[in-house]
Every structure is written in structure tokens, then in C-alpha cells.
Amino acid sequence: MSFVVVTGAGAAGLPTARQFAEAGEHVRQITRSGRGVDHPLVELVAADVTDADRLTDLTQGARVLVNCAIPPFPQWATDLPPMAAALLTAVERTGADYVMLGNTYGYGPVEGPMTEDLPMSATTVKGRVRAQMWQDALAAHEAGRVRVTEVRSAGFLGPGPVGAYALFVAAAVLAGEEASYPGDLDAPHSWNYTEDIARTLVAASGADRAWGRAWHVPATSSVSVRRLTEQLAELAGVAAPRLRRLHRQDLVELARTQPMFGELLEMLYSNESPHILDSAFTQEVLGVRPTPLDAVLRHTLAGDHPRAA
């Protein structure tokens, strides 16, 4: 019996496993904790995805491995390379296809809309790590050892603590507090709904044209943080948002007592200028369409995310 392996149970892993199951596919969801989607077609397995031998055993017989796992942000430089190596080893050993969830960090600073054919020109530690993960997988694909593709997203939107916007802005605004954001509050920025991320991963896993290249998740909107937050507050029926921009020096000061803020410094460029994804090719070939922003924000406010077991 064919099945799908999904690693991770975060903002993208949960809807991805659920969408595969709702389409009638058997899913083996692998997480360190053994928690994941509560669905009769989803088998939950506790395992360390950096263990290539264990991951190989769990992937044996799968048609595709979809990776949504990611180490904690401060540990990318040390933990992402061994995880990437184990994932690639497992698919090479088993013959499973390989779909990677990535982001825009590997492109480095870009002027104008980002297309999937841009070179990997990362200027930061985190960006180079992400770029290397893709380049290693693509080299294996080009050598005929595995079929691989990468789905790339920008800022996450959806129910729960799904990313920087939810943590820095949405929670504070909904609580009636001033919100601080590390970047330009008025720069346009592409936002990806977590369900649309999952839909793109699922679509890529079954498309013959998907392999050997990257795909951009269709953006639900490319509005600024200020406009996004005004719309969120209006739908929630709370007071007009009070927003404060965090500059580089603010992050430096905050990092003295809260190290996580220091991790944002090298990627600050992506929030200080327009950050727009071009997803025309994804929409044309994979047939994925973005969910309207109003529906995304209503879903976010309702909090009806996939059930976790």
C-alpha cells in the first residue's frame, strides 16, 4: 500500500498531513514528540528526523516524503545541515520522491518581485544554510538519484502562532496592546496562508512537471503590515491598531536580555523593503489559487486549525 511521509507538525505540517488524508491517502506523520493530525488515515510516529537510518526505515515504501520540519530559529546554522542530510539520504535510499518546504532566504536581497528562477545569492548565515539544503537536493536530482522539488513561501498567515507576524503583531493588537514589528510597517509584503502552503505541497507531490525546480506559494495578499493589521482589527472588532517600528538598534538592545531578537538582525532586510513573491507559474501549472485575505483573517480569528492528537 502506497503512503505519504510528512515530517513536522507545525504551521505547515498539520494542514499538509490533513489534506493528504482528506484526499484519501495514507499518511505517516513523523515528529519528535509523536504528535500530529488526528485522522484515521494518519499514522503518528515519534522519531528524530536527523537519524538517517530510522528515517529510511520509516520512508521505505512511501511514494513521497514531504518535509515540513524545521529546527528552532536560533539553531538553524547547527541543526539544519544534519537534518537536511538525513532527509536526502532517506529518499535516496528508498526511492521516494522528495518535496521540500523552503522560503525566500536563499535569494538574498532582491529588488522587484521574486521569481523561482532567481539564483541562490544569500548574504546571511540562515540564508546560506537554506540555499545549501536546496542545492544539495537539486544536485542529487540532476545526478538521477532522486526526484526533488521545493515549495517556497513568504510570511505565514493562519490560526495559531504561525510566524513572526502572529507573534509580534496580531496577538498584541487583538489584546488591545501596542504592537512592535521589526521592519518597515508600510512596505508591501507577500503573505501565505498555511492552508495554501499545504495545497501547494500536495499539488507538487503529484505533478510530473514539479520535479527539479522550485515553486512559489500563491500569496493571499501583498499588503503592508500596517494595512494587514488594520484589516485584522476591523474584522475582530477591536480598537484601531497601535503599531511601533523596531529598528536595528532596537533589536540590538532587546537582544541583550532576549536573545531571540538577535536572531532577527541578519534577516531584517527582508522586512525593511518590498518582499513580493511572483507565483504565476505555480497557479498556471499546479492549479493552486490563493485564498482571499478576508477569508484567511476570518479563519485566523476563528482559530479552527487542524486537530492535533
* 118 within a domain of the structure (yes/no): yes
More reliable by pLDDT, 248 or 307: 248
The pLDDT of residue 304:
60
The pLDDT of residue 305:
52
* 203 within a domain of the structure (yes/no): yes
Q: Which domain holds residue 75?
A: 4-154+194-218+278-288
* 223 within a domain of the structure (yes/no): no
Query: Nearest Cα to 73, choosing from 226, 263, 303?
Result: 263
- Residue 44 predicted with pLDDT over 90: yes
Confidence of residue 46 (pLDDT cuts 50, 70, 90): very high
Distance CA 38, CA 17 (A): 10
Give the pLDDT confidence of 249-293 residue by residue, as tens digits. 999 999 999 988 899 999 999 999 999 999 999 999 999 999 999
- Mean per-residue pLDDT over the chain, rounded: 95
Taking residue 214's Cβ as centre, other Cβ atoms within 10 Å add up to 23
Average pLDDT over residues 100-127: 97
* 251 within a domain of the structure (yes/no): no
Residue type, 89: T
- Residue 75 predicted with pLDDT over 90: yes
DSSP string, 42-71: EEEEE--TT-HHHHHHHHTT-SEEEE----
* 250 within a domain of the structure (yes/no): no
Confidence of residue 168 (pLDDT cuts 50, 70, 90): confident
Q: Dump strand ranges (E) for the chain.
A: 4-7, 27-31, 42-46, 64-67, 97-103, 148-153, 155-157, 179-181, 191-193, 214-216, 243-245
Report how many domains make up the chain: 1
3-state secondary structure of 102: strand
* 150 within a domain of the structure (yes/no): yes
* 237 within a domain of the structure (yes/no): no
Backbone phi, psi, residue 233, to 5°: -65, -40
C-alpha cell at 293: 485575505
CATH number at residue 35: 3.40.50.720
* 116 within a domain of the structure (yes/no): yes
